[in-house]
Amino acid sequence: MSTNNVCWLAIETATRNCSVAVFKNEQCLAVVEEFDANKYIHAERLHSLVEVALSKAGKHFSDLQAILVGDGPGSYTGLRIGVSAAKGYAYALSLPLYAISPLDALHAYWQEHGKDEDICMSVIDARRMEAFSKVFKKRQAPSEMQAIIFEEDTLRDDSNNIAIVGDAASKLEGLYGKHVFLYPQHPSAAYYGQLGWNLIKDGQSVDMAYYAPNYGKEFSPGKPKS
């Protein structure tokens, strides 16, 4: 594929935010998303949002040259719908499919909106005080995704300012001290621009025959919170 003026579609459904964006190279042409705090609307709304995003960008399905999907961790319901839709578009349009973690998109959000904290911890809610997490430190490779349980000493690091970015951040209000800054934010396709473009330029597509989303992993049971 030529990497000049590549038009591509990004789908993000790991949480209750149903999000779609259209890009030319790394530039976002349009983003459309809907959020319902009470239920997953992805099955009913995703395909309509794709059509709206393409229309807002002034593009058609025939203009697309790649599909990218947020592949988890996150909700089984959301990821199953999003990845199935992305595979369907890629197969029907004979396009390559690319996949990336929404935890990386949350880091991209922090890079744009953060206050220059020393550490960024992307977090996706996994119910109770549990989260899927990935840690980004300056001038270091990011950590692998891991499942964590937030307790009072989880972030005991008074020498660094820590940004907690993601939909799990809102449950941590009051749990940590002044060195922890919360950014409650659902993953959005709007922040896949540079991430997706790097994959496309490098040709790092997935094999659709074998590709499955990363739902995360089972947690070790912790002490129940009263």
Can you give the pTM of this predicted structure?
A: 0.91
Q: What is the pLDDT of residue 226?
A: 46
* pLDDT value of residue 218: 53
Write out pLDDT tens, residues 172-202: 877 777 788 999 999 999 999 999 999 999 9
* Domain edges within the chain: 7-101+187-202, 103-184
Q: What is the mean pLDDT of each run of 10 residues along the chain (226 residues)?
A: 86 97 98 94 97 98 98 93 97 98 97 93 90 91 90 70 92 79 96 98 95 75 48
Residue 147: in which H helix or E strand, if any? strand 146-149
* Of 151, 150, 152, 102, residue with least CA distance to 122: 102
- Could you check whether 7-101+187-202 and 103-184 share the same CATH topology? yes
Architecture of the CATH domain 103-184: 2-Layer Sandwich (3.30)
The topology (CATH level 3) of 7-101+187-202 is Nucleotidyltransferase; domain 5 (3.30.420)
C-alpha span between 73 and 178 (Å, rounded): 29
